[in-house]
Structure 1
Amino acid sequence: MDEDTRYEAVRSRDGRFDGEFFFAVSTTGIYCRPSCPAVTPKRRNVRFFATAAAAQGSGFRACRRCRPDAVPGSAEWNVRADVVGRAMRLIGDGVVDREGVAGLAGRLGYSARQVQRQLTAELGAGPVALARAQRSHTARVLLQTTELPVTQVAFAAGFASVRQFNDTIRTVYASTPSELRAAAPGARRTATPSAGVPLRLAYRGHYQSSAVFDVLAAEAVPGVEEVSGPPGRRVYRRTLRLPYGTGIVAVDERPRGWLDARLHLTDLRDLTTAVGRLRRLLDLDADPYAVDERLGADPRLAPLVAARPGLRSPGAADPEELAVRALVGTEEAQRLVQRYGKALDAPCGSLTHLFPEAAALAQADGPVAALAAALADGAVRLDPGADRDDAQAALLALPGMDARTVAVIRTRALGDPDVAPPGLDIPDSWRPWRSYALQHLRTAGELEPR
């Protein structure tokens, strides 16, 4: 898109582009999402940015009206397999906060200087600035949804000091942390972190939540996951293993322009990572407009797209777990959970265990042990920044792994939107959304479930 086209999107308040770019107004010093309901600024006063971090780096603060930090992420980062796309997925998973820029670069196989240069050239912000923008959003969520002391919020959001936290909040939101908290509706705040952090998970366009929840219900592994309630009002719950601790998440099926969720974390530093993994599981950052436009032009798929606009291709909350489950199936996965999974300190209803770590599953037998050993020693990488082609080659080299299973892993664990399993007659016209095309066929009953 050129800048004139972006301005037209702003003038029409087009929500399709929320998260795809941001605009800032030089006369007010504020940056917004394209759908901001405020009066459209004059063209000569508008600047455009690829990321919120770039707008912040140029001295603009977030709009209090449209909350541009709360938009869905750009679908581009899920589609792209280059270093910038992989870096953005890793930053979203909190790698910079945990491992620094050097850790990010090491995972990508580049030098820190190369990563800095490529991100800055394309996005207008380097990894530190991008992570800082993400920390700011996490801090705002904690300030406005919990009664945690400000000091605890600062460190839970990933800031190195309270002073850095205060300075960043003032810069990004033009408010002190206390003022930002006071501006939030009190009804949404929880008294203690033990009550969980309530979240509104944004998405763009239509969202076929019932189809996603059907998949989650069919695949649920007892002890780790559950789907309860009647269709249309179901709640999905599962346990999560996270970098600093563990978590339990609950997501409401009913779409409202967002999905309501609640996260219970043993360590609030995991909030950013947990939200990112949940968004990938539910495919919340997809661009349904682009997908439906391409697939809806195909005669076979057109009626399916018309019946279910915005159909998503579910991902994985834990890529390594998904790989094991794709290999062995739900029934065997349940047995592995009972034998090798770690029991929760305090069971929560039917949720009793975390899915076993790769190192624990390496003690199992047969193909599971081979896969688990490869995951544990890094021979197979499935993290958000993994190279999809390298991962596929490494998986195919393992005993007991066939091409169809690897296709499932590539689609779900690695979030590839354009996977065609072997043995299916899939036209090239469905590229680059073949994963979504197959999901349409499965949902319509024209293709066997995976």
Structure 2
Amino acid sequence: MTDDSKYEAVCSRDSRFDGEFFLAVSTTGIYCRPSCPANTPKRKNVRFFTTAAAAQGAGFRACRRCRPDAVPGSAEWNTRADVVGRAMRLIGDGVVDREGVAGLAGRLGYSSRQVQRQLNAELGAGPLALARAQRGHTARILLQTTSMQAAEIAFAAGFASVRQFNDTIREIYAATPSELRAARPGQGARFGPVGSQDGAAGIPLRLAFRGPYASAEVFDYLGARTLAGAEEITGERGARVYRRTLRLPNGAGIAEVGETPGAGGWLECRLHLADLRDLTTATQRVRRLFDLDADPYAVGERLGADPALAPLVALRPGLRAPGAADPHELAVRAVLGQQVSVAAGRRLGEALLAAYGEPLRTPSGGLTRLFPSAERLAEAALGELGMPDSRRDTVRAVSAALADGAVRLDPGADRDEAEKALLGLRGVGPWTAGYIRMRALSDPDVLLTADVAVRAGMRATGAAAVDSEAWRPWRSYAMHHFWNAAKDRGDFKRDTHEAHDEHEHERKDR
């Protein structure tokens, strides 16, 4: 977009661009989201920034009316496979807070100076500034949704000192922590409050998304794959709550996400954390699981241009491609699901969880265990699982590769390299590697043409694989449309959306 087209979006208060860019007003010293309800500033007084951190670095403070720090993330960071895209995903996961800029650079395979230069050149802010803006957002949430002391919030949000916390809050919000807490958004605010003011039963969040959101399909997809003990869905369709355990850097956690989207474009979420330093990481992992940073307008425009896909896009606007809350867990479950139905893969996963999962210190409802770590599974006998020895070997091989770093599935992993490394493991074929790439690495451009259900959906709609190049970079969404089309027809007998070509795996197993 040009600056003029961005200004047109601001004039029309177009929420489609919330999170894609920010505008700052030189006469007020404030930066906002494009859909801010305040009076539209004059064009000559407006500057545009790619990130909130860049606006803050230029001396602007966040608007208290539209809360630009509460927007969904840019879909660009998921589609891009370059250093900047990978860095943004890692920063979102809290890597800079845990490992510093050197740790971020090491994961990317570049020097700290190179990473700093590339981020500054393209985004107008370096890794420290981007992480600082994220810490400020986390601190605001804790200030306005819990009764924690300010000093506790400072360290929970990732600040090195209370003084650094106070200075950052004043710079970003032009208010002290006490003033920010006193200014909790009321029910009448344009974008609603962050959550309830009682944080005793977990931290309430509103996870923003843009455009339509096909929540029923997402909950159906996750519900068909829940592992008893680590996941559960409660309530009736239309008002369900998805709950799951989380293995986080500093301890365990539980996430609860409601099915019904709020009128302002958010999903209600509540996080229960053993260590509040994991708030940022837990939030980002839930966002990836529910694909909340997607751009359904761009997806719909590209896929809707294909005559075969257009009716599917119209039938399910805002269809998402769920990611994974734990990439290592997803990789193991993908291997368990080879050559079997979703229900059978689910039973294998539950047997694995019962035998090797780590018990929660305090069970919550049906949630009693964390999925076993890759390190534990790499040495496990796996005799409890009713599957061929060759498949057990594959589970152990994948787990060992994840444990020793031979295969990397963190948010900043190079997707091509990760897929190549997976394919080098015995028992892992293109379907499994592609499925892991789509979900564990949140790649929006995966198409499993060997998948039986995908082929059934394509036949049902008249879509052709030769046309798939025109669907880039959103082929993962096309695949979800095909899975749903196959299910809608009712002529696909197997209990799965993901049944795949078994011959390749049979050859590898032999």
Whether the TM-score (by the shorter chain) exceeds 0.5 is: yes
Q: Does 1:449 align with 2:467?
A: no
- In structure 2, the residue matched to 1:350 is 366
The answer on 1:311 being equivalent to 2:300 is no
| Alignment-mate amino acid for residue 31 of structure 1 | Y
> Do 2:206 and 2:268's aligned partners in 1 also have CA atoms closer than 8 Å?
yes
User: Given the alignment of the two structures, is residue 334 of structure 1 paired with residue 336 of structure 2, yes or no?
Assistant: no
1:212 matched to 2:218? The reply is yes
- Equivalent in the alignment of 1:223: 229
Question: How big is the shift at 1:338?
Answer: 1.0
Quickly say closer, same or farther: Cα 1:293–1:343, change in 2 above 3 A. same
**Paired residue for 1:383, among 410, 413, 424?**
410
**Aligned residue number for residue 432 of structure 1:** 473
Residue 448 of structure 2 contacts residue 479 of structure 2 at CA under 8 Å; is this kept in 1? no
Structure 2 Cα separation of the partners of residues 430 and 378 of structure 1: 33
Between the aligned partners of 2:133 and 2:252, the Cα distance in structure 1 is: 24
2:342 match: none
Identical aligned residues as a percent: 70
**Residues 47-446 of structure 1 aligned to structure 2 (within 5 Å):** 47-185=47-185, 188-193=195-200, 195-256=201-262, 257-328=265-336, 329-364=345-380, 365-423=392-450, 426=465, 427=467, 428-445=469-486
1:270-312: CA deviations, max 9, x gaps?
Answer: 0000000000000000000000001111111111111111110
Unaligned runs of 5+ in 2: 188-194, 337-344, 381-391, 456-463, 499-510
State the distance in 2 between where 1:41 and 1:152 align: 38
Partner of 1:2: 2
Count of residues in correspondence between the two structures: 449
Per-residue displacement from partner, 1:197-238 (whole Å, max 9, x unpaired)?
000000000000000000110010110000111110000000
Please report the RMSD computed on the Cα atoms of aligned residues, expressed in angstroms. 1.2
TM-score when normalising by structure 1: 0.98
Q: Deviations over 1:336-378 (max 9, x none)?
A: 1111110001111110000000000012341111000000000
CA distance in 2, matches of 1:137, 1:408: 33
Gaps of 5+ in 1: none
Q: Read off the aligned partner of 2:37 and give its amino acid letter.
A: P
Task: After superposition, give the CA deviation of every residue in 1:129-179 in whole Å (9 maximum; x if it has no partner).
Answer: 000000000000000000000100000000000000000000000110001
Per-residue deviation, residues 380-417 of structure 1 (Å, max 9, x unmatched):
00000000000000001111111111111011001111
Q: Normalising by structure 2, what TM-score?
A: 0.87
For residues 277 and 243 of structure 2, the distance between their equivalents in structure 1, rounded to whole angstroms, comes to 20
Please state whether the residue corresponding to 1:216 is helix, strand or coil.
helix
User: 1:190–1:196: 8 Å Cα contact kept in structure 2?
Assistant: no
- Give the match's secondary structure for 1:312: coil
**Equivalent AA in structure 1 for residue 482 of structure 2:** L
- Residue 224 of structure 2 aligns to a residue whose secondary structure is helix
Amino acid at match of 2:31: Y
Is the CA contact 1:147–1:189 (under 8 Å) kept in the aligned structure 2? no
User: Displacement, 1:445?
Assistant: 2.5
Q: Output the CA distance in 1 between the equivalents of 2:439 and 2:346.
A: 15
Residues of 2 paired with 1:399 and 1:356: CA distance? 21
1:8-19 → structure 2 map (5 Å cutoff): 8-19=8-19
Alpha carbons 2:93, 2:411 under 8 Å: kept: yes
